[in-house]
Amino acid sequence: MFDWLEMSAADLGRGIGNGSIDPVALTQAFLGAIDSHDARDRIYTVVTHDRAMAEAEAAAERARAGQRLSLLDGVPISWKDLFDSAGVATEAGSLLLKDRVPDQDAQVLINATAMGLVCLGKTHMSELAFSGLGLNPMTATPPCINDPKAVPGGSSSGAAASVAFGLAAAGIGSDTGGSVRIPSAWNDLVGLKTTEGRVSADGVVALCEKFDTVGPLCRTVEDAALMLAMLEGGTAPDLRGSSLQGKRFAILRTAAFDDIREAPLAGFTAAVDRLTDMGVEIDEIDAPEVSRALDLSGPLFTAEAYGLWQDVIEASPDLMFDQVLERFRIGASFDGPTYVSAWKALEEMRIEWDARVASYDAVLLPTSPILPPDAARLMSDQDYYVTENLMALRNTRVGNLMGLCGVSLPTTVPSCGLMMLGAPMEEERLLRVAAAVEPVIRTL
């Protein structure tokens, strides 16, 4: 039974389908593991026992009647604490939203429930989703699977921990500048960043509406593809027959390797070497528009974030972690014309990027140029916090700025991911390519 906690969501779904796994027993196993785990209250903000069991019982009845709603009908998953859930607190990792209880589910939770997924509860996150580190001294900082002294990555920190520690079959998070891919990489998971506007953000607490995306953190690429379908209430792409034959990749050299640490470089290099050994054509490219776009991160991200949250923040600033508060307030230094001109410039840079990479199946770069930083030092060393937070998000932010979809895959080096960036709205194509890459780069 405890093997269930380490299985992929797809394999659990197949087990339910062939009758070897009972959804009720499966959900009980996850709930028991959650409630007995030492880090329970650092990973989950709330565990929805009653909802989970009711949904599991309904899934079991459908399985017995041969009326399953999807392959994942009856599989238990977790939800980041910025997805509204009816009658359950949704506080986005912030004391500013304490006791905020929505009266209906977010649209993606409605969709997933309609496909038969079981809601285990809500997971901790960086404060208002505005940090890639996962450190949250105001509520809780979840653990990292590879280093008990390190942060897990954010902002979908608890989502990653719930899966990595066997307390959910998959976790649903959000990604504004890397918040799905960073914790996925640091916890050896697969993380899918969807294209902005593809998956509904209705009922999701916003950070930057022009960049916010919803995506899953999973054990496998197959799970990521299935979870995308669950979030949309659609059909998962068929990954069978995925092949590297004829594929062309580009390694982004601009900015992505600046000051990179030894382990992330080793993980990336090993992955690329394995792909090269398989005969994959890989070029190295420079993209000056990436550097220009990264330089616009201030007005593009912080101005919008502060614009959305200014009134709430300034009403009770003492309820915020000072590092996150300071980062929000940077947004006040940018005026309207600066913000508008930054967006106009970014739109032109996106055109440049699309033309530059049009002939490639994916662009490759290290998911993060650093390993998970030490949590205690982040609390005591302000310069370290600022440097590590910016470094953590630098590479992932490329995908958000250029409006792309992306996936982070584990490599053979712990906490070091390979990121693949694909064209906007081409998640199905990217996932098929990632499904072919996945077994290659995980091979020692």
Q: Among 80, 122, 193, 247, which one carries the catalytic annotation?
A: 80
Contact 275, 249 (CB under 8 A): yes
Separation of CA 76 from chain center:
18
Active site residue 8: no
**Catalytic member of 94, 155, 162, 408:** 155
Asked about 333 being catalytic, the answer comes back as no
Which residues does residue 190 pair with via DSSP β-bridges, in sequence order?
A: 218
Which residue, 199, 159, 201, is CA-closest to 182? 159
The rounded Cα 24 to chain-centroid distance in angstroms is 28
Residue 371's nearest CA partner among 413, 419, 406 is 413
Closest by CA to 224, choosing from 173, 261, 276, is: 173
**What is residue 48's three-state secondary structure?**
coil
Query: 41, 126, 60: which is closest to 92 by C-alpha?
Result: 126
Cβ(441)–Cβ(231) below 8 Å:
no
Residue 210, number of CB atoms within 10 A of its CB: 15
Can you tell me the distance from the alpha carbon of 243 to that of 155, in angstroms, rounded to the nearest whole number?
Answer: 33
Place of tokens 């953000």: 201
Residue whose pair of structure tokens reads 């996925």 in the numeric block:
184
Rounded to 5, what percent of the chain is helix, strand, coil? 45, 15, 40
Closest C-alpha among 262, 81, 39, 304 to residue 171: 81
Cis bond leading into 155, ω under 30°?
yes
CA dist 394 to 108, 164, 193, 291, 339, Å?
28, 24, 15, 10, 20
User: Using CA atoms, how far apart are residues 228 and 241, in angstroms rounded to an integer?
Assistant: 19
Q: Would residue 126 show up in a list of annotated catalytic residues for this protein? A: no
Listed residue (422, 410, 427) closest to 366, CA to CA: 410
Distance CA(270)–CA(211), nearest Å, equals 31
Beta bridge partners of 362: 249
Catalytic residue positions, numbered: 80, 155, 179
